[in-house]
Chains A and B, each alone.
Chain A
Amino acid sequence: MKLKPNIAVSESGFVFNPATGESFTLNPIGAEIIAKIHEGLDYSEISEWVKKEYTTDEATFERDFNDFVGQLKINGLFEKSKNEEKA
């Protein structure tokens, strides 16, 4: 789970992919999670942090996190894992 190194992320929730020229907006929690991913935190660390800061539970966040990461992948913002490259 690693953002591509050239992806620019602003604190205000603006994402720019210079390789494709595509821009994205994030909501505040999305921006915070991207920053955590950028820092190298894994899912369980991010989940602990979100549950401490926000009114949510493990099941809800796990579902939403998977969906969010899926969107980051679909939009080409993540490095492909070795398995994905092989595929």
Chain B
Amino acid sequence: MSISDKKRYERPMIKKMEAGVPNKFGLRSEYTPMQEIDGVSIKQLLKDYGTPVFVLSETTIRSTFQKAKKAFTTRYPKVQFAWSYKTNYLDAVCKVFHQEGSWAEVVSGFEYDKAINNGVSGKKIIFNGPDKTENDLVKAINNESLIHIDHLDELYLLIEIADKLNVRPKVAIRVNMDTGVYPMWDRFGFNYENGQAWDAINKIMRSGKMELMGLHTHIGTFMLSPNAYAIAASKLADLAISLEQKYNHKVKYIDMGGGFASKNTLKGAYLPGTDTNPSFDDFAESITTALLNANFKSDEMPLLILETGRALIDEAGYLLGTVIANKRASTGKRLTIMDIGVNILFTAFWYDHKITPAQPFTHYTEETAIYGPLCMNIDVIRENINLPLLNKGDNMVVHYVGAYNMTQWMQFITLRPKVVLIDTNGTPHVIRENETNETITSLEKTPQHLSSFNL
């Protein structure tokens, strides 16, 4: 029998039929292969760029952005997005968002410099976060950036700098509040309910040293309740209107921050995020309705700024990897080891990532735990997933990985992989090279007395 006459091998499998089901919707089986991203063969991407490799779709980034923009601009007259650098600050990614019209939203001096180097005008950089050094603030003031004050120490430092430089920094305050979602995020900014926010506003207005441009909030992360944004928008609007009544000062913008859920599935969720998580339209409806219903004069509506990151980039990111080995736990449960560890897929701690094979299989599946290659017990990519009968060398696609993984990843034990962007014409570009030993060791220094040893 020639090879071509032989049947395609699949490893033999026996599966016990369970009387009950583990959850009322059943476990989803992922045996439909994903073999291409934007028309580019996944096998070819792995061949050309190695395994594992992050792949981003420029087409998906742009279409997702357009969808979000449309959701807001069809409901509210003045809308501005600011790309959340911390979500993914690879220059190529930031520039896609800047080409789409996004300003930059940064939370550190490092990110601020990145935005400037990317060519963003200082006036279109929003500087958030609790850690802004005096040098950072001076730079941001001179560039006329929008400084969002997080705490009173920062406020007093700004007053000092403004005095010294004889300039009026453009500022906003970050406001935290009870939106009915717990735990309440009250560690950033000034609280609305207990009067901290008013206290900060009073200090700014009475100092006369700063220009209060806007009010900012960021109520949480991976928010599944659009209504919480409606509450937040109403409270910020009330604050803005009271500010006008008290000081005859109109804020130019209301910044609703980010935190919109992406299509990922949180651990413990019954149904996949693609089916249940709110859409941009849901978030837009809540926020814009609250602002339109507030008592702003129709010709004096403040600019609505949005800093959503995760929901704009998650879907565009894929992590391609390879099966290293199959084994059995002492209980007989299937364990599959992949070359993707939690050091590069940080979000595996939060999500049950969708994982699909990159080559066709039969419809036979087995319950598997997917582990990464790190010699660490915490290196678990999926604790339970129904997958086809994988073999060593098979390729897999992890979906919705565009947010945070390429900023929060760690160089641990192994080296971080390449990141590839597929442009809108279907041409792949390396936008971040893989690390080499040299990348890491070039930062190290060995004292002279440790330069040699005898074993």
Contacts and interface: CB of A to CB of B under 8 A. Distances in A.
B328 A67 contact: yes
Given A53-B6, A70-B332, A29 B14 contact: no
B17 A60 contact: no
A30 B16 contact: no
A21 B39 CA distance: 49
Given A65-B12, A68-B13, A54 B328 contact: no
Contact of A72 (B6, B10, B14, B362): B14
A68 B11 contact: yes
A25 B15 contact: yes
Nearest to A22: B16
B269 interface: no
Contacts of A50: 9
Contact of A54 (B8, B14, B389, B391): B8
Q: Interface SS of chain B: helix, strand, loop or mixed?
A: loop
Contacts of B16: 22-24, 75
Contact of A26 (B7, B14, B326, B332): B14
B14 A75 contact: yes
B25 to A, nearest CB: 21
A53 B7 CA distance: 6
B3 interface: yes
B364 interface: yes
* Size range of the chain A interface in the assembly: 20 to 34
A15 to B, nearest CB: 7
A75 B13 CA distance: 12
A60 B332 contact: no
Contacts of A52: 1, 6
A38 to B, nearest CB: 14
B13 to A, nearest CB: 5
Contact of B10 (A29, A75, A77): A29
B14 A60 contact: no
A60 B16 CA distance: 24
B1 A30 contact: no
A50 B13 CA distance: 14
Interface string A18-62: 000011111111100100000000000000001011111000110
Interface of B: 1, 3, 6-17, 326, 328, 332, 362, 364, 389, 391
